C-alpha cells in the first residue's frame, strides 16, 4: 500500500499506511453494521425472547419497532458526537463511539428473557439499542472525515471501505445465521442460540479500540482547527449555513440505505411471506454480502479515475427500473434460487452506487463542519430510510396483502436520490 505523510509537527510525524487509516475508520462501522444485521436477521427469535405477545405478528412488530426506534436517536448522536469530532478531533470521537457500541452489544448478550424479568426485558433491550444508535450517530461522519482527510487523492477508494466494511459484516452475520439456523432447533434459537452472534460481535470492540488509538489525527482537521472558531461546528451553524448540504446528504443516502435495510429484512421476509425455511433468507443475504464485498472497493477505485456520478446515476436508475420486476418475480416463483438472484442483482446496483457515495457526501461539506454535517445528514437519512424500512415493509404487506408492496418504498427512495444527485451535480459541481 502507498503511504500518506502527516505534517511533521509532533511525534505522530511518521508515515502512515493507507490500510491503517482505512482499518481504523472502518472497524467501528463494521461493528455497527454487524450488530444491526444480526438484530434484524434474528428478529424472529428476539421477538419471542424479549417481546412476547398473544399474536406472532404483534410480537414481530414490537421487535421491529425497537429496531426502528433505535435509529431515531441517531440524529442526536450525530449532533453530539459529530460536533465533538469537529471540536476535539476525529480520533477521540471514534474511540468513544466504539466503546458505546460495545456496551450496547454486551447488554443484549447478558439480558435475561421476558419470562424471567418481565417488562424490564423489552425496556432494557430498547435501552441497549438506543445506546448503539447514539454511538452509530457519530460513527459515519467521523470515520469518513478521517479517511478523506488523510487520503485526499484516494478519497473515492478510501471512503468506499465504509460500505465495504458493511459487506464484510453482512457476510459474517449471514454465515453465522446459516450455521445456527441449520444446526439448532427452533427452541434452541429462541432460548439461547440468538445470543451467539452478538457474542461474536463483542470480540470486535477491543480490536477496534486498539487500532484507533494508534492512528494519528487528521492533518486537515488540525489545520482547520487552527483557523476556524470552534462554534462554527455547532448545530446552529450547520443549520444556518449548510442546511442545503444536509438535505442533499439525506437524499443521497436514501436509496442505498433503503436497499441495505431491506436486505437485512430478507430472512424475516422469506420466512413470514414466502414460507421458506429459516436458513433460506440467510443464503440470500450471504450472497449479497459477497457481491458487495467484491464490487464496492472496485467501484471505489475506478470512480477516482472516471468520476463518481458516472457510476451512481446509472445505478440508481437501474434500481428504480428493476425494483417492481424483481419483486414480482420473487413472489411469483417463490424459490430460493430466484430470491438469491434478485438479491444479487440489487447488490450489484447497490455496490455501483455505494462505492462513490461516502466521498461524494464528504465533498458537500467543508472540513471545519464535515464531522457534524456528515453525521447529521447520514443519520437522519438512515433513520428514515433505514430504521423504518423493515417496519414499513411489514406494514405495506399487512395493509395491501401483497408481498410485492415493499417495492413502493424502494421506488420513493430512488426518486429522492436521483433528485439529490442532480442538485449536487448542477449546483455544487460534484463529479
pLDDT score, position 249: 92
pLDDT score, position 233: 52
Best CA proximity match to 41, nearest among 213, 168, 189: 189
Angle between helix axes 155-183 and 336-363 (nearest 10 degrees) is 150
Res 30 pLDDT > 80: yes
Res 234 pLDDT > 70: no
Of the two residues 405 and 248, the one the predictor is more confident about is 248
Of the two residues 265 and 81, the one the predictor is more confident about is 81
Contact between 121 and 111 under an 8 Å Cβ cutoff? The reply is: yes
How many C-beta neighbours within 10 Å does residue 324 have?
14
pLDDT score, position 232: 52
Res 428 pLDDT > 90: no
Contact between 177 and 37 under an 8 Å Cβ cutoff? The reply is: no
Q: 12-21, 52-61, 210-219, 346-355: which has the minimum mean pLDDT?
A: 12-21
Best CA proximity match to 67, nearest among 43, 101, 49, 100: 43
The share of the chain scoring above pLDDT 70, in percent, equals: 90
329-336's contacts with Cβ under 8 Å and 24+ in sequence apart are 330/274, 331/274, 331/403, 331/404, 334/274, 334/275, 334/276, 336/276, 336/280, 336/283, 336/284
Q: 24-33, 177-186, 258-267: which has the minimum mean pLDDT?
A: 258-267
Which residues, listed in sequence order, are joined to residue 16 by a DSSP beta bridge? 4
* Distance (Å, whole) CA 90 – CA 236: 20
Best CA proximity match to 167, nearest among 287, 283, 271, 83: 287
Res 1 pLDDT > 50: no
Give 172-187 pLDDT, tens digit per residue. Answer: 888 888 889 889 988 8
Contact between 13 and 161 under an 8 Å Cβ cutoff? The reply is: no
Best CA proximity match to 327, nearest among 279, 396, 382, 388: 396
Domain edges within the chain? 16-213+232-428
* pLDDT tier at 13, thresholds 50, 70, 90: very low
β-strands 16-17, 3-4: how paired?
antiparallel
Mean pLDDT on 392-407: 82
pLDDT score, position 314: 94
Global confidence as pTM = 0.74
Contact between 195 and 109 under an 8 Å Cβ cutoff? The reply is: yes
Mean pLDDT on 186-208: 87
Res 6 pLDDT > 60: no
Res 85 pLDDT > 90: no
Give 298-331 pLDDT, tens digit per residue. Answer: 999 999 888 899 899 999 999 888 888 887 888 7
Res 16 pLDDT > 70: no
CATH classification number, 16-213+232-428, choose in 1.10.468.10, 1.10.8.100, 1.20.1250.20, 3.40.50.10800: 1.20.1250.20
Cell, residue 257: 440505505
* Distance (Å, whole) CA 71 – CA 137: 8
Average model confidence (pLDDT) for the chain?
A: 82
pLDDT score, position 391: 78
Amino acid at each position: 500500500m502507498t503511504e500518506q505523510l502527516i505534517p511533521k509537527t509532533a511525534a505522530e510525524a511518521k508515515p502512515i499506511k493507507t490500510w491503517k487509516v482505512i482499518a481504523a475508520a472502518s472497524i467501528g462501522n463494521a461493528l455497527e453494521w454487524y450488530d444491526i444485521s444480526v438484530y434484524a436477521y434474528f428478529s424472529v427469535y428476539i421477538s419471542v425472547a424479549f417481546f412476547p405477545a398473544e399474536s406472532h405478528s404483534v410480537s414481530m412488530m414490537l421487535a421491529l419497532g425497537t429496531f426502528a426506534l433505535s435509529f431515531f436517536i441517531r440524529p442526536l448522536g450525530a449532533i453530539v458526537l459529530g460536533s465533538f469530532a469537529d471540536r476535539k478531533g476525529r480520533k477521540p470521537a471514534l474511540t468513544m463511539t466504539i466503546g458505546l457500541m460495545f456496551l450496547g452489544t454486551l447488554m443484549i448478550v447478558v439480558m435475561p428473557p421476558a419470562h424471567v424479568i418481565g417488562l424490564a426485558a423489552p425496556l432494557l433491550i430498547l435501552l441497549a439499542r438506543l445506546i448503539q444508535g447514539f454511538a452509530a450517530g457519530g460513527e459515519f461522519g467521523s470515520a469518513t472525515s478521517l479517511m478523506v482527510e488523510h487520503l485526499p487523492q484516494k478519497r473515492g477508494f478510501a471512503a468506499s471501505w465504509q460500505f465495504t466494511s458493511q459487506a464484510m459484516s453482512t457476510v459474517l452475520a449471514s454465515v453465522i445465521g446459516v450455521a445456527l439456523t441449520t444446526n439448532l432447533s427452533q427452541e434452541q434459537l429462541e432460548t439461547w442460540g440468538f445470543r451467539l452472534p452478538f457474542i461474536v460481535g463483542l470480540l470486535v470492540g477491543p480490536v477496534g479500540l486498539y487500532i484507533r488509538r494508534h492512528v494519528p489525527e487528521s492533518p486537515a482537521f488540525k489545520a482547520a482547527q487552527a483557523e476556524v472558531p470552534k462554534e462554527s461546528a455547532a448545530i446552529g451553524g450547520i443549520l444556518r449555513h449548510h442546511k442545503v448540504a444536509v438535505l442533499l446528504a439525506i437524499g443521497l443516502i436514501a436509496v442505498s440505505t433503503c436497499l441495505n435495510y431491506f436486505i437485512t429484512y430478507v430472512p424475516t421476509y422469506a420466512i413470514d411471506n414466502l414460507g421458506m425455511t429459516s436458513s433460506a433468507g440467510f443464503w440470500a443475504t450471504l450472497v449479497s454480502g459477497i457481491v458487495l464485498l467484491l464490487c464496492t472497493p472496485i467501484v471505489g477505485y475506478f470512480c477516482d479515475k472516471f468520476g463518481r456520478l458516472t457510476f451512481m446515476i446509472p445505478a440508481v436508475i437501474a434500481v428504480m427500473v428493476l425494483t417492481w420486476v424483481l419483486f414480482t418475480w420473487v413472489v411469483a416463483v417463490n424459490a430460493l434460487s430466484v430470491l438469491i438472484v434478485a438479491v444479487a442483482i440489487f447488490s450489484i446496483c447497490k455496490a455501483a452506487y455505494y462505492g462513490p457515495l461516502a466521498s461524494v457526501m464528504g465533498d458537500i461539506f467543508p472540513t471545519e463542519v464535515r464531522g457534524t454535517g456528515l453525521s447529521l445528514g447520514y443519520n437522519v437519512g438512515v433513520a428514515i430510510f433505514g430504521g423504518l424500512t423493515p417496519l414499513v415493509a411489514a406494514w405495506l404487506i399487512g395493509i395491501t396483502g401483497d408481498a410485492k408492496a415493499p417495492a413502493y418504498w424502494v421506488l420513493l427512495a430512488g426518486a429522492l436520490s436521483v433528485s439529490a444527485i442532480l442538485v449536487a451535480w448542477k449546483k455544487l459541481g460534484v463529479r
